[in-house]
């Protein structure tokens, strides 16, 4: 039975991943600065938690020694806008935190660290339509810088210490549990959640604005899939992922197909529209498909249907 330590385990992605790993018979230990006993108790399978900060070496080392995991999925981070409001704290959590995890894994002989990187690791010079896996990463945000730095640190530990480091670069993730405050791309998730709960929602962008997203269940499963991939077939340590591109109008239409009485309208904000348009729509994920068989399962309608069902009948997470 594989024992997995998930950093940021009480986060949006961490919760789905924890439940999927537990459902597949794994043992899961969550490391977070938060605690949520209700989530741990409701989880089916073997899920426990430890409280500690990624930024604190002693707490990370303590957690790794206590959990004795076979693998670590490192998804704990400080996300925008908090990372940009407090860049010094973001450095400590996202860069020192990754170093602490890699070094603790090395000292404790943990074989594998899987890392959740981001489209934000690419900068404003990246093509909007399709970003090649190996496109130069020149981010201008502290969050993006921390993602590139973590990827390079992981590759260094792989080369220097033979640590089995693997990473996926997520586009914005779409699904129940994405907090409204978790960056400007969160509106796609909030729109579906509000509709499913019978509340009105105004999209903050013009209807034609496209966003590339990945459904949360595909995102969580990708971390399991890359962890299980045959090392011999990996030509890279860091892989772009993509789900589907949806305009705000197409999302509103899909919501109405699944929630016929949904009150979705548009109240475009120029700044938000410009920001969303500046994010690459598609990360070229062909390398992930070829090397380890990556394949998203959920298209727009399947994702919205599952999202509405999960919102109305919340199981776990
Ligand atoms: N959600 C997205 O759209 C998205 C897109 C691309 C990449 N990612 C990456 O995926 C990972 C998970 O993102 P998420 O959406 O679940 O974010 P989230 O904010 O929901 O979860 C992050 C978790 O990390 C925890 N955390 C924060 N500071 C910590 C610290 N000092 N020590 C320990 N834990 C700490 C938080 O409490 C939270 O539970 C992150 O690395 C993020 O950068 C997310």
At 137, is the pLDDT very low, low, confident or very high (cuts 50, 70, 90)? Answer: very high
Residues 292, 232: Cα–Cα separation, whole Å: 10
Q: Which domains does the chain have, with CATH numbers?
A: 3-172+214-240 (3.40.50.720), 174-213+243-280+297-312 (3.90.25.10)
- Burial string for 95-104 (b: 16+ CB within 10 Å, else e) reads bbbbbbbbbb
Other Cβ atoms closer than 10 A to 281? 20
pTM for the predicted model, two decimal places: 0.97
Residue of 79, 169, 317 to test ligand 1 pocket, by largest number of atoms within 8 Å of CB? 79
170: β partners = 118
pLDDT in tens, 153-170: 999 999 999 999 999 999
Residue of 77, 120, 242 to test ligand 1 pocket, by largest number of atoms within 8 Å of CB? 77
Contacts of 146 (CB under 8 A, 6+ apart): 77, 83, 90, 91, 94, 95, 98
- Residues marked active site are found at 143
- pLDDT more than 90, % of the chain: 96
**What pLDDT is stored for residue 188 in this prediction?**
97
What interhelical angle do 97-107 and 57-67 show, nearest 10?
40
At 117, is the pLDDT very low, low, confident or very high (cuts 50, 70, 90)? Answer: very high
Stretch 44-66: mean pLDDT: 97
pLDDT in tens, 219-261: 999 999 999 999 999 999 999 999 999 999 999 999 999 999 9
**What pLDDT is stored for residue 182 in this prediction?**
86
Residues 81, 306: Cα–Cα separation, whole Å: 28
Q: Is the CB of 222 under 6 A from ligand 1?
A: no
**What pLDDT is stored for residue 316 in this prediction?**
47
């Amino acid at each position: 039975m594989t024992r997995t330590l998930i950093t940021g385990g009480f986060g949006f992605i961490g919760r789905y991943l924890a439940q999927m790993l537990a459902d597949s018979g794994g043992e899961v230990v969550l490391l977070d600065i938060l605690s949520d006993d209700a989530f741990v108790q409701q989880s089916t399978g073997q899920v426990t938690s430890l409280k500690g900060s990624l930024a604190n070496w002693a707490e990370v080392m303590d957690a790794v020694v206590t959990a004795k995991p076979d693998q670590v999925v490192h998804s704990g981070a400080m996300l925008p806008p908090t990372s940009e409001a407090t860049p010094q704290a973001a450095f400590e959590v996202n860069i020192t935190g990754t170093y602490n995890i890699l070094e603790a894994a090395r000292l404790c002989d943990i074989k594998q660290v899987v890392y959740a990187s981001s489209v934000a690791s690419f900068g404003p010079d990246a093509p909007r339509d399709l970003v090649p896996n190996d496109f130069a990463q020149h981010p201008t945000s502290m969050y993006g810088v921390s993602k590139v730095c973590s990827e390079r640190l992981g590759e260094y530990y792989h080369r220097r210490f033979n640590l089995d480091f693997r990473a996926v670069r997520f586009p914005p993730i779409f699904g129940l549990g994405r907090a409204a405050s978790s960056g400007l791309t969160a509106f796609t998730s909030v729109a579906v959640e509000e509709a499913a709960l019978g509340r009105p929602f105004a999209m903050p962008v013009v209807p034609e604005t496209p966003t590339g997203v990945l459904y949360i269940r595909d995102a969580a499963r990708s971390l399991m899939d890359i962890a299980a991939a045959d090392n011999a077939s990996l030509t890279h340590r860091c892989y772009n992922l993509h789900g589907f591109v949806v305009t705000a109008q197409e999302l509103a239409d899909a919501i109405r197909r699944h929630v016929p009485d949904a009150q979705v309208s548009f109240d475009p904000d120029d700044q938000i529209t410009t920001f969303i348009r500046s994010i690459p729509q598609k990360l070229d994920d062909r390398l992930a498909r070829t090397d380890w068989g990556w394949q998203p399962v959920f298209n727009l309608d399947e994702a919205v249907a599952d999202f509405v069902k999960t919102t109305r009948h919340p199981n776990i997470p």
